[in-house]
Amino acid sequence: MSGVPVEESLDYRRLLDAAAAAARATTGQGRVADYIPALAAADPEAFGMAVATVDGELYGVGDWERPFSIQSVSKLFSLALALAHGGDGVWGGVGREPSGNPFNSLVQLETEHGIPRNPFINAGALVVTDRLQSLTGDAAGAVREFLRRESGNPLLDTDPAVAASEAEHGHRNAALAHFIASHGNLQNPVETVLDHYYAHCAIAASCRDLVLAGSFLARYGVRADGTRLMTRSEAKRVNAVLLTCGTYDAAGEFAFRVGLPGKSGVGGGILAILPGRAAVCAWGPRLDQAGNSVAAVAALDALTTLSGCSIF
């Protein structure tokens, strides 16, 4: 952490109010995702933000308890669970480098023999979902159950309309999965992998739910009940990949502005981690060209700038 000593208490309520003001200043910028038709109905002016500290404090502002489609934010949890169940073997089928290409690009798969560049682009997340399916027998169910337990929200679930919409319009994801399978890098049938991928991406959760579920990374791998999901070293490595790959081909800009590991989704959410301190989630449906929420990035930028807290 820079700027603010770890032992110093932060006024999260004041910081969230300032972050919300920064988000409101972006009104009209960006556009709601419409390539998945079920997402196009999101309120473009909605905004919520929440913080959950490692000491058990919870703060929120705006629509922080309003569920939204978490989309690629779920990839953080599928990766963590795959590592928890399968260890470093997961990395045999997916890399850890930034892609520099859009999240649904097919370009690199051909030259890199069906090994996706990282676990947070769509191709990589399909491989992780495949491995989690082999390890648990129910990849989407494993992600859903983890989110329910960590958030304390038993009603958290997949939105079937969003999942169906993704499947109906998921030609590019199907192409990615078939190409990966053609190189022998899927263990399960393509249709099974796609079904579980769509199901965990279509989970509806709030900023509140996500900061509570993501706090294990702020606690260096320790779950809400005190048990350990992963080692401190594994948590460090997940945070590292989040920093370099979690916001698609805008990861450098996100690190520059926000300075935290984070995972975004085209539903407008971004879950970010302050290691040793807190998890933060901001949500606003309008997206920039890279697929990241304009309001959420602005809010997280304001929070880390005003608090002086980042990993740098």
Give the residue numbers marked as catalytic. Answer: 72, 75, 197, 248, 266
Cα 237 to Cα 274: distance, rounded to the nearest angstrom: 14
Ramachandran region, residue 9 (left: φ > 0; alpha: ψ -120 to 50; beta: rest): beta
What are 61's strand-pairing partners? 49
Cα 50 to Cα 16: distance, rounded to the nearest angstrom: 8
Cα 283 to Cα 49: distance, rounded to the nearest angstrom: 6
Structure tokens at 225: 């009940």
Cα 265 to Cα 285: distance, rounded to the nearest angstrom: 10
E strands in the chain: 31-32, 48-53, 58-62, 68-69, 157-158, 203-205, 262-264, 269-274, 278-283, 286-287
Amino acid residing at 263 = K
Please, which residues have CB within 8 angstroms of residue 97's CB and are 6 or more apart in sequence? Answer: 117, 118, 244, 245
Structure tokens at 137: 């027998």
Structure tokens at 232: 């401190």
Structure tokens at 8: 């110093």
Neighbours of 235 (CB within 10 A): 23
Residue among 234, 256, 206, 195 at smallest CA distance from 85: 234
Exposure of 49 by Cβ count < 10 A (0-12 exposed, 13-18 middle, 19+ buried)?
buried
Q: Coil, strand, or helix at residue 232?
A: helix
